[in-house]
Structure 1
Amino acid sequence: MACNGLFGAGQGGMISPVDPKKIFTLQRAELAVFNRDIHELLLDFEILYDMAKLLGEDNQRSFQALYVANQMVNLCDVNDPGTFAAVRKLSSKFLSQRNGESQHTIHAMGHCHIDSAWLWPYEETIRKCARSWVTAVQLMTENSDFTFTCSQAQQLEWVKTWYPGLYSRIKEFVKLGQFIPVGGTWVEMDGNLPSGESMVRQFLHGQLFFQEEFGITCSEFWLPDTFGYSAQLPQLMNGCGIHRFLTQKLSWSLVNAFPHHTFHWVGIDGSKVLAHFPPGDSYGMKGTVEEMLKTVKNNRDKGRVNCGIALYGFGDGGGGPTEKMVGRLRRMKDTDGLPRVQLSAPDRFFSALETDTSQLCSWVGELFLELHNGTYTTQAQIKKGNRQCEQLLHDVEFLSSAALAQDKNFIYPRDRLQHLWRLLLLNQFHDVLPGSCIQLVVEDALRYYEEIRTEGAKLLSKAIQSLLKTSSQPSSSQSLSVINTLPWERTEVISIPESGEHRLGMFIMLSMGYSILPEEVNPVYPVTVVMQDNGCITMNNGILQASIDSVGRLTSLRLLSCNRECIPQACYGNQFVMFDDIPLYWDAWDVMDYHLETRKPVTSVLTKLEMSSNGGLRGVVKFGLKISDHSTIVQEIILEASCPYLRFNTKVTWREAHKFLKVEFPTTVHSTNATYEIQFGHLQRPTHRNTSWDWARYEVWAHRWMDLSEHGFGIAVLNDCKYGCSVLGNVLSLSLLRAPKSPDATADIGHHEFSYAVMPHERSFQDAGVIQNAYSFCMPLLTTEAPSTQQTSWSSFTVLSSAVVLEAVKLAEKQPDSLVLRLYESYGSTVETWLETSLPVKEVFLCDLLERPSSDQPLTFQDQRVKLSFTPFKVLSLLLVLQR
């Protein structure tokens, strides 16, 4: 019988997509009678054999094991089952010799890490979950002490939908404490790239699911396999009732060995969690003597702690624990010469740790994985979809909340938003958003993003229609309306539809509100664009003056307020560069440091530099470059009136193999550290390579901006959908596209559109408004039509401190008449400020990230405003009870 299918047989290697043409032929099938006595005897012998081999010649226990094993062989006669009892007696006597009280204790937990998508699509994962969990449930039925940890609410929801009978059995064993939901998140997401609000929603949707389905709230964050961990995660965990953290992946770091297995992890705001990395450096152990000995020997915190976790069971593609694994571990429960091994649970382990943590060390800041840093750039369309959909859902939730508060007939689209958020959260799985997946998964992810865009646009339109009291049908009495979904006033140039054409206008917009027929303002200094005799172009808007050469490079960029040149002499800004990109290990995952030695500037002209718009409110120049015979760049450089940054709208046709495209901005700034935006804040990383820890950060990640500043002056690079970047010395580099060939041979091949900007500034980046400009760069003003009789302008929320960002406004999950607001301190400062609102608010409560009120007493809310206090990078959630 011949068959084919998703059997994990990759094309050319293990980390490869399935070969659809691979044929397997079943030649023989046999039935066998399971002999329990022989099975148990073999497990006994295996344990003794491994002890004799692994304990070492200086350990008398190894010789005792060898002697007993030899006796067993001599006594056993496979043709005489009557000898088995005597042989078992020998092994049982040896294994029953107990440990001393000081022996190290290993908490063994059944585990089945299942990638929600990787070398297989989402659909196959549903079947993997069912197959693996059926095995686990069967082991629970036969072994009342067997425990099994299971994360990812999404996978449980899949099984609930597709295998309700199995799900009912799972719920029974959850009550018995054997099937243990862990983690508290919707999926085991990437730890770097999701936004702060997305990370909150991972916990919110996950914890609500576990509470509704099992009556529990997870107390530990379970993220064994991801490619680094944001320094904001400890605060987000604490805000969701989680103070414990488990992972394993940092043992993969290529350069430096992380110095701890059990420690306090401290986030950028000072929040702390108790972290444990299983010292065996695996989340898929087999329960062998060798693994248990390694778990003890490898533990870098011996003396501070006397216990560790061992996660056993086939993982990645599923499978989980087997009866044989459980049998091995049972024999090591309390055997002299081996660590004590107990079938345990996360709460039992962490509770034991928490009895005394006084000797533990602390690690402050991000947990940076010194490997897999190509995942910040691979599969650019997935990353673009993630950023755009995060921003779209932000707008839909805010405008729907405003409509709900203003219009009692408006129905908040709770169910549709939940569905769209869960699609987005699923795509943030740690092999999807990073791009380390096969083409079938990429197709699924892009289809989900398109669903979010399509459905989100409809929901956005409905919210705007309700808020502006407009109609979906065109009317001659309707006028231009401009909507600002960000929490600060904005002055920007926008395109206005007029008589079938478009013209430019500049408007001042209130925070988080709208204006109908807003009054146009004239710029203090119009943009000028001048072609020089040498073919170069100069652009000037009174804030910036840029000189662009014939291949689109900045030969000069001057901040006019201080007459400071930004580009060093004989250097070029906006310099595209190509690198050879052939990693040592895994294509989609890694970019090695030696790629930096292959730098080649892109300077071949495809289309010459020309002016598309010669100024006024907007100046535009355009050019094209030839990357290779197959790949091209076409770019517009845009300078707008009153705008503090120079924008680069970029189109790339990309048909490369094992190449890496970046853009560089050398600067006249000198600083030993650069600053990068992360979730709800920022952190600094060195611009030098003094130590191996510094050197390992040759490619790092950021969100919307990075900044290099000295006292009084700096330069920021903003972007709309990129994450990979670096700053070495005085050069800011933004990573644009990669071309890996495994596990997806088509990765990134095709057409790409993206934008970035350079923003010189006086003072600190905080005081210069880099954070606000990066938000505005990514989230343009919205334009629509509204009745000319409608209220001409309206603002829903204002925050009086520029340091505090109002990040999200949404309907509360469990209270239909309440809104949830999420704010955070973005500068790294201690500040008190006022939040003002025009919405009909009755009471205001502080709440945690799961939207549970922190107190029965509301905050003082008078004159439509409430006073709030922040410490550096503090995330604060409010529950606003509406007057209905």
Structure 2
Amino acid sequence: MDGNLPSGEAFIRQFLYGQKFFKEEFNVQCKEFWLPDTFGYSAQLPQIMKTCGINRFLTQKLSWSLFNKFPHHTFMWEGIDGSRVLTHFPPGDSYEMKGHVEEVVRTIKNYKDKGRSSKSVFLFGYGDGGNGPSEEMLQRLKRLEDVNGLPRVEMSTPDKYFTSVEQEDISKLCRWRGELYLELHNGTYTTHAKLKRYNRKCEFMLHNLEYLATISALTHKGYSYPRDELDHMWKQILLNQFHDVLPGSSIGLVFHDAVELYKDVEKKYKKLLAEVPFTKEKKSDSSSTIINNTLGWERKGIIALDNQGQSASKKRRVSTDSDLTQIDSFGQTLAFMEVAGYGYTVIKPKACQLHAHAFKKGQLHWLKNKIVSAAFDYEGRMTQLHLHGDDRNAMSKDYHGNQFVIFDDIPLFWDAWDVMDYHLETRKPVSEKLQHVKILDEGPLRASLEFSLKISDKSYIKQVISLDAESPNIRFDTEVTWHENRKFLKVEFPTSIHSMQASYDIQYGHLQRTNHNNTSWDSAQFEVCGHKWADISEHGYGLAVMNDCKYGYSCFDNVLRLSLLRSPKAPDEKADMGVHQFTYAVMPHKGSFQEAGVIQQAYDLNCPMFTTEVQGEVTESQSYFKVDNAQIILETVKMCEDQTKDKTVVLRLYESHGGKGKTVLTSSLPVKTAHRCNALEEIIEDTHKSVAGIEGDIHLTFQPFEIISIMVEFNL
């Protein structure tokens, strides 16, 4: 599997299904994670491994790093939460050696942990493309078992190797903290952007569907949890997360097969979602429209109500059809709504005090509400970005934000895989206007602007910039028609912020990386992987960039860039050609990004509230789960894997701020018992007692970035 791009829950499902397979087929539980070839390793993998019963890790790919030689071969790898796994990086610098004497000698000469460990692994066979070892290789290695002047060679197993290392004094081993960054193949964060978009969207589809199906299975006797369908959908997504599919480094036929799998997931999602009862109301001739919130906190925001897509006239664009709604320029009826976490409410538009407005002043177009305001020039570039009541401009005084830039993208080695640091020397702003900025919607619930730019004779950008009432972020809905040859498109935000590092969203947490080139290790990370957001902050002030389907970022000095599209020509000459749609948003904030709610805002962007028509008259709102501490994210709600426990649910939470915290998890459903479990859904023996408190409340204490799974049985 890829080690950077999947979500945290997808990582856990890879291990869950893998461990189930080995248990069913071989009656064993794996203790080793064997991943010789992938394009980098998330800093949260050690904890995810350990919660899935694995405490040993082997990889080979780090030998491919282009700038720095990794300093260890046998070491303890520590994740962002402090979890450690015994890790081996075979010193032969290959996962397909042939058993030659020189390879064995090179293995010993390269080994950097002599004196700390006396053993290493020799990986042999035709390993890149299959076929395994040949008879000649086995004969050569047999002859090398005990030769004077050469290291002893012994046929072994991963378990025997790691056990022998553990029997030595592992306290002598060095420790590596954080991600294992591969200094190569960082173009895979962006190549084949449609696969990345499908991946993010499908991961959140399954998040929504599992939660809604779980609640329905608990509260409706006639509804059956679609376990088999969900398993199949997860396995389709996990298959596409193989390290040459989701990264975009496969041939064109693989891309087409992967898209068909994603489309099948989407089709099944729509079908299964239509079968979910949603509410407790009994079936009747009447119906109601509800708004669903599938995240764990109360959300206030603008939602588009279904009105059959009627077009809006100019007059309707600048007015509303009632005091509480607005018809936007796309014919959508907009309303301001409040919905409790993991719950729903009937549509009752609420009055909104912090209206949004669009207006022109001089040569600039402004979007403004009572939280944030932004000014744009005729090219759609952000010249000013202010928090309400603060005259500080979050944008640099010398350069503009929302600046599209294009780079020559001709790597030394492999087109789809690599982007080289020298591409940064070819920066060219995209500035030729096809349509200058104009106002689409003046408010009061949504204010928006539109413009378009020409990249080349074959490629162009169309963008709608919007600001909603009571929203802290400026949103950029973007469509790019892309027919370039070895070019790299990014959008950049030069800020007025002084900082030595930037923070990036990863699986179940975040990671800091430097934004300077002090050392070769710093400069090698000119293109890095992040998920839903990145943030650059100084004390008391910062700016976050969020997105709904991108994974490549770069930050140097005060400039934060989001990577949008590449156009490699091998192994798929048509990679990324066509029309792309994506959304990103910018959020200035006071205080830290944790205090400002950047993490929740990024979730909101990726997992919007949605409307559903249900049978019966719904008169009350409902919230099924609540967490009383913003540090703690309730990430997953699913039925237990044990089919005999039809009233037992697994809840997975994590600490998102990077600090210790306590929370009380409450449910509107009656809790019978609650136990800590691992990600394989095995009760943790040393906490086998119930963790349910008074009246079913579940009290939890978290370490920084800790993932906790709870098995809850409901009294229904």
TM bin, normalised by shorter chain, reads over 0.9
What residue is the counterpart of 2:673 in the other structure? 843
How do residues 181-200 of structure 1 correspond to structure 2 at under 5 angstroms?
Answer: 189-200=1-12
What residue is the counterpart of 1:879 in the other structure? 711
Residues 127-148 of structure 1, C-alpha deviations (whole Å, 9 max, x = no match): xxxxxxxxxxxxxxxxxxxxxx
| Greater helix content | 1
Instruction: Report SS of the residue matched to 1:542.
Output: coil
What displacement does 1:883 show? 2.4
Structure 1 consecutive aligned stretches of length 4 or more whose deviation exceeds 4 Å: 468-471, 498-501
User: Are residue 482 (structure 1) and residue 291 (structure 2) matched?
Assistant: yes
Question: In structure 2, what residue type is equivalent to 1:872?
Answer: P
Q: For 1:797 and 1:330, locate their aligned partners in 2 and report how far apart those are by CA, in whole Å.
A: 61
Residues 51-103 of structure 1, C-alpha deviations (whole Å, 9 max, x = no match): xxxxxxxxxxxxxxxxxxxxxxxxxxxxxxxxxxxxxxxxxxxxxxxxxxxxx
Q: For 2:198 and 2:5, locate their aligned partners in 1 and report how far apart those are by CA, in whole Å.
A: 12
Q: 1:831 pairs with 645, 661, 665, which one?
A: 661
What displacement does 1:564 show? 2.3
Residues 178-206 of structure 1, C-alpha deviations (whole Å, 9 max, x = no match): xxxxxxxxxxx100010000000010011
Instruction: Report SS of the residue matched to 2:435.
Output: strand
Q: For 1:326 and 1:259, locate their aligned partners in 2 and report how far apart those are by CA, in whole Å.
A: 31
Q: For 1:498 and 1:317, locate their aligned partners in 2 and report how far apart those are by CA, in whole Å.
A: 53
What residue is the counterpart of 1:414 in the other structure? 227
Instruction: Report SS of the residue matched to 1:505.
Output: strand
Question: In structure 2, what residue type is equivalent to 1:396?
Answer: L
Q: 2:345 pairs with 515, 521, 537, which one?
A: 515
Question: In structure 2, what residue type is equivalent to 1:802?
Answer: A
Question: In structure 1, what residue type is equivalent to 2:224?
Answer: I
The question of whether the paired residues in 2 share the 8 Å contact of 1:481 and 1:784 is answered with yes
User: Are residue 381 (structure 1) and residue 194 (structure 2) matched?
Assistant: yes
What displacement does 1:791 show? 4.7
Residues 704-753 of structure 1, C-alpha deviations (whole Å, 9 max, x = no match): 00000011110000000000001100001000000000000000000000
Q: For 2:390 and 2:513, locate their aligned partners in 1 and report how far apart those are by CA, in whole Å.
A: 27
How do residues 769-784 of structure 1 correspond to structure 2 at under 5 angstroms?
Answer: 769-784=597-612
The question of whether the paired residues in 2 share the 8 Å contact of 1:843 and 1:861 is answered with no
User: Are residue 396 (structure 1) and residue 209 (structure 2) matched?
Assistant: yes
What residue is the counterpart of 1:227 in the other structure? 39
Instruction: Report SS of the residue matched to 2:306.
Output: strand
Q: Which runs of 5+ in 2 are unaligned?
A: 311-331
Q: Which runs of 5+ in 1 are unaligned?
A: 1-188
Structure 1 residues 561 and 766, CA gap change in structure 2 (3 angstroms): farther
The question of whether the paired residues in 2 share the 8 Å contact of 1:529 and 1:540 is answered with yes
Structure 1 residues 561 and 222, CA gap change in structure 2 (3 angstroms): farther
Structure 1, 860-869 or 301-310: larger mean CA deviation: 860-869
How do residues 516-535 of structure 1 correspond to structure 2 at under 5 angstroms?
Answer: 516-517=346-347, 519-534=348-363
The question of whether the paired residues in 1 share the 8 Å contact of 2:672 and 2:696 is answered with no
What displacement does 1:467 show? 3.3
Instruction: Report SS of the residue matched to 1:492.
Output: strand
Question: In structure 2, what residue type is equivalent to 1:325?
Answer: M
What residue is the counterpart of 1:673 in the other structure? 501
How do residues 106-117 of structure 1 correspond to structure 2 at under 5 angstroms?
Answer: none
Q: For 1:533 and 1:867, locate their aligned partners in 2 and report how far apart those are by CA, in whole Å.
A: 56
What displacement does 1:238 show? 0.6
Structure with larger RCO (C-alpha < 8 A, sep 6+): 2
Instruction: Report SS of the residue matched to 1:823.
Output: strand
Residues 489-540 of structure 1, C-alpha deviations (whole Å, 9 max, x = no match): 00010112358754111011100000013x3222222111112343x31111
The question of whether the paired residues in 2 share the 8 Å contact of 1:375 and 1:588 is answered with yes
Q: For 1:564 and 1:499, locate their aligned partners in 2 and report how far apart those are by CA, in whole Å.
A: 43
Instruction: Report SS of the residue matched to 1:310.
Output: coil
Q: 2:159 pairs with 347, 350, 353, which one?
A: 347
What residue is the counterpart of 2:694 in the other structure? 862
What residue is the counterpart of 1:461 in the other structure? 274
Q: 2:112 pairs with 300, 312, 317, which one?
A: 300
User: Are residue 615 (structure 1) and residue 615 (structure 2) matched?
Assistant: no
What residue is the counterpart of 1:427 in the other structure? 240
Question: In structure 2, what residue type is equivalent to 1:372?
Answer: H
User: Are residue 687 (structure 1) and residue 500 (structure 2) matched?
Assistant: no
- Bigger Rg, structure 1 or 2: 1
Structure 1 residues 632 and 500, CA gap change in structure 2 (3 angstroms): closer
The question of whether the paired residues in 1 share the 8 Å contact of 2:402 and 2:492 is answered with yes
What displacement does 1:311 show? 1.2
Q: For 1:367 and 1:561, locate their aligned partners in 2 and report how far apart those are by CA, in whole Å.
A: 43
Question: In structure 1, what residue type is equivalent to 2:343?
Answer: G
Residues 665-722 of structure 1, C-alpha deviations (whole Å, 9 max, x = no match): 0101100010000000001000111000000000001000000001111000000000
What residue is the counterpart of 1:751 in the other structure? 579
What displacement does 1:276 show? 0.2
Residues 751-798 of structure 1, C-alpha deviations (whole Å, 9 max, x = no match): 000000000001100000000000001111010123463351000000
What residue is the counterpart of 1:497 in the other structure? 306
How does the TM-score come out when normalised to structure 2?
A: 0.95
Computed over aligned residues only, the root mean square deviation of the Cα atoms, in angstroms, reads 1.3
Question: In structure 1, what residue type is equivalent to 2:20?
Answer: L
Question: In structure 2, what residue type is equivalent to 1:358?
Answer: S
Q: For 2:282 and 2:64, locate their aligned partners in 1 and report how far apart those are by CA, in whole Å.
A: 56
The question of whether the paired residues in 2 share the 8 Å contact of 1:838 and 1:864 is answered with no
Q: 1:822 pairs with 649, 652, 656, which one?
A: 652
Aligned-residue sequence identity (percent) comes to 52
Aligned length: 690
What residue is the counterpart of 2:548 in the other structure? 720
Q: 1:627 pairs with 408, 431, 455, which one?
A: 455
Q: For 2:271 and 2:539, locate their aligned partners in 1 and report how far apart those are by CA, in whole Å.
A: 47
Q: For 2:533 and 2:362, locate their aligned partners in 1 and report how far apart those are by CA, in whole Å.
A: 35
Q: For 2:159 and 2:617, locate their aligned partners in 1 and report how far apart those are by CA, in whole Å.
A: 61
Q: 1:568 pairs with 392, 396, 411, which one?
A: 396
Instruction: Report SS of the residue matched to 2:242.
Output: coil
What displacement does 1:864 show? 2.8
The question of whether the paired residues in 1 share the 8 Å contact of 2:288 and 2:617 is answered with no
Question: In structure 1, what residue type is equivalent to 2:270?
Answer: A
What residue is the counterpart of 1:809 in the other structure? 637
User: Are residue 548 (structure 1) and residue 371 (structure 2) matched?
Assistant: no
Structure 1, 758-767 or 859-868: larger mean CA deviation: 859-868
What displacement does 1:468 show? 5.0
Residues 820-869 of structure 1, C-alpha deviations (whole Å, 9 max, x = no match): 11100000010111000012321101000100011342223331311001
Question: In structure 1, what residue type is equivalent to 2:78?
Answer: V
The question of whether the paired residues in 2 share the 8 Å contact of 1:537 and 1:548 is answered with yes
Q: 2:563 pairs with 722, 731, 735, which one?
A: 735
Instruction: Report SS of the residue matched to 2:153.
Output: strand
How do residues 275-294 of structure 1 correspond to structure 2 at under 5 angstroms?
Answer: 275-294=87-106
Instruction: Report SS of the residue matched to 1:312.
Output: coil
The question of whether the paired residues in 1 share the 8 Å contact of 2:292 and 2:344 is answered with yes
The question of whether the paired residues in 1 share the 8 Å contact of 2:278 and 2:614 is answered with no
Q: For 1:642 and 1:235, locate their aligned partners in 2 and report how far apart those are by CA, in whole Å.
A: 37
Q: For 2:357 and 2:441, locate their aligned partners in 1 and report how far apart those are by CA, in whole Å.
A: 9
What residue is the counterpart of 2:535 in the other structure? 707
Instruction: Report SS of the residue matched to 1:300.
Output: coil
What displacement does 1:469 show? 4.2
The question of whether the paired residues in 1 share the 8 Å contact of 2:73 and 2:89 is answered with yes
Q: For 1:698 and 1:719, locate their aligned partners in 2 and report how far apart those are by CA, in whole Å.
A: 19
Q: For 1:600 and 1:327, locate their aligned partners in 2 and report how far apart those are by CA, in whole Å.
A: 58
Q: For 1:466 and 1:565, locate their aligned partners in 2 and report how far apart those are by CA, in whole Å.
A: 45
Question: In structure 1, what residue type is equivalent to 2:42?
Answer: S
What displacement does 1:562 show? 3.1
The question of whether the paired residues in 1 share the 8 Å contact of 2:567 and 2:575 is answered with yes
What displacement does 1:429 show? 0.3
User: Are residue 255 (structure 1) and residue 84 (structure 2) matched?
Assistant: no
